[in-house]
Structure 1
Amino acid sequence: MNIEANLWIRRFHPSKEDAVRLVCFPHAGGSASYYFPVSQALSPVAEVLAVQYPGRQDRFAEPCVDDVHELARQIFENLRPWTDRPLGLFGHSMGATVGYEVARLLEEHGTTPVHLFVSSGRAPSRRRDERVHRMSDDELIAEMRRLGGTDSSVLGDEDLLRMVLGAVRNDYKAVETYLHRPGPRLECPITALVGDDDPTTTVEDAEPWRSHTNSAFDLKIFSGGHFYLNSHKTEILRIISEYLAAAEGR
């Protein structure tokens, strides 16, 4: 497999040969390009691999995957060629759940991530009965505006907005129908990050992530809502860098 031609995994800034890799999983409706600035900022210490889900941007013509377990399985299979170096995982919102399931698959097949970062994502045990994916287009757009995080140029362009709604609806369905399957706890450390005013993931929703690892757990609380990270980029990048450096023994 030509890993550089893999549509699932994007490497924007190749790093030095021994650098730890950080695999980044987008939020609902999000794409790999969301992590381009992260890749650029972390390139001195880590090589960022951004996951591109099907059904968006250059994969727009491909059918979306509306099941988290199946999406994680396909990502895991495409991630295998990149496991020759230590891997950290970072997922925001839906990406937190997908990243967790990929971590489980990695460990099941003999690769323990050096760290799992879960941002604005409820712990797998904190399920709610939500049906955003069944909303009308107008209601779904209102929900996107409420949470923030969607580029204003997209929200202001009716044609573009209608184009991305399919992926957004699909991803909400994947998250809202997700059921945690029993299995061993992870052996990698977990750091949960959450905004103190997040309407979908409260601090109480994030804290139970500690029950999903046999290793260290840390909870970081920031001011802000669901996309708190857009206002705390420097601090979050510092936290990630410090944990990855510690994992490498630097």
Structure 2
Amino acid sequence: MADPKNSGDASWFRHRPGVEPPALRLVCFPHAGAGSAAFADWRSGLPAGVAVLAACHPGRQDRLAEPPVGSMDELADRSVAALLPWLDRPYALFGHSMGSAVAYEVARRLAELPVRQPELLVASGRVAPHRVVPGDFPGDGDDEILASLREVSGHRLDAFAEPALRELLMPALRADYRVLRTYRPEPAVLDVPIAGCVGISDPRCDLVGIRTWAELTSAGFEHRLFAGDHFYPETHRSDLLGYLSRRLPCGGGIPLPARR
């Protein structure tokens, strides 16, 4: 595992503070190809005591010059190393789509360390890692990747029509799809409550799929459906943030029902 004091890890999370010191930090992991900008305006929709830590992996935003990470093991190991200095306060993990798998792998590694454990893991828009069919991912070709992305994002591919932007954005997207295509999870049941969230019109993850996360926790599970498709965190952001505000411990959330 990378050294948490390594200066190269300092840029992995962008801090969006609320009240300091915060009652809780919400650590957010984005969907494939995205960076911390996916959570840029989340702070204003959460309780004042919640600070947002948004992951920004190499190869995107102001880290474009850095080579993207191409394996889940490296991505999770380096994320944990960068996160360790922030674990002085209670925290929860949120991941959307690919980010939910990263959040799970981070939680799995943290469970093996003598550190504060997350209060909650929120998995959004993706079937639990051990239930994903490996052959469901496209190959390395840009056209294959964009066709796969188009299935869930529709009109949101406008940026890739511009050659200059496409050249900037594709390396991170290729790397993230490689992470997903080569990811072979070693399932471990977490002693952390899990909440599964999904858009009711998501073509990739339905109610049955989001419920598979219940198999990965011994500390309680619930699921929540939202209006919208795979990108409901963008189109129905206020609904999601309202739910998180109620569910997070600092929002007075009640314990999740125990897994049976």
| Same fold (TM > 0.5) | yes
Cα 1:89–1:202 shift into 2, 3 Å:
same
Structure 1: 4+ residue segments shifted above 3 A: 149-153, 245-250
Partner deviation per Cα, 1:47-67 (whole Å, 9 max, x = no partner): 000011111111111111111
User: 2:137 aligned to 131, 142, 145, which one?
Assistant: 131
What corresponds to 1:24 in structure 2?
28
What corresponds to 1:44 in structure 2?
48
Measured in 1, the distance between the counterparts of 2:194 and 2:253 equals 17
User: 1:108 aligned to 96, 112, 120, which one?
Assistant: 112
| Count of aligned pairs | 247
Asked if 1:88 corresponds to 2:125, the answer is: no
What SS does structure 1 have at the residue aligned with 2:225?
strand
Partner deviation per Cα, 1:64-109 (whole Å, 9 max, x = no partner): 1111122111000110000000010000000000001111112221
Identity %: 37
What corresponds to 2:159 in structure 1?
154
Measured in 1, the distance between the counterparts of 2:156 and 2:175 equals 19
Asked if 1:75 corresponds to 2:79, the answer is: yes
Asked if 1:220 corresponds to 2:224, the answer is: yes
Measured in 2, the distance between the counterparts of 1:127 and 1:74 equals 23
Measured in 2, the distance between the counterparts of 1:187 and 1:148 equals 34
8 A Cα contact 2:95 2:124, kept in partner: yes
Measured in 1, the distance between the counterparts of 2:201 and 2:253 equals 35
| Higher mean C-alpha deviation, range 143-152 or range 212-221 | 143-152
What SS does structure 2 have at the residue aligned with 1:125?
helix
Alignment of 1:126-205 (within 5 A): 126-128=131-133, 129-134=135-140, 136-148=141-153, 154-183=159-188, 185-205=189-209
What SS does structure 1 have at the residue aligned with 2:129?
coil
Q: Which amino acid aligns with 1:191?
A: A
Q: Structure 1 residue 43: deviation in Å? A: 5.8
Unaligned runs of 5+ in 1: none
Q: Which amino acid aligns with 2:242?
A: R
Partner deviation per Cα, 1:117-156 (whole Å, 9 max, x = no partner): 000011122121123242x323333333332288566244
Cα 1:118–1:126 shift into 2, 3 Å:
same
Cα 1:149–1:116 shift into 2, 3 Å:
farther
Q: Which amino acid aligns with 1:34?
A: A
Measured in 2, the distance between the counterparts of 1:149 and 1:113 equals 34
- Normalised to the residue count of structure 1, the TM-score between the two structures is 0.90
8 A Cα contact 2:47 2:251, kept in partner: no
Q: Structure 1 residue 249: deviation in Å? A: 7.7
Measured in 2, the distance between the counterparts of 1:240 and 1:7 equals 25
Unaligned runs of 5+ in 2: 255-260
Cα 1:144–1:127 shift into 2, 3 Å:
closer
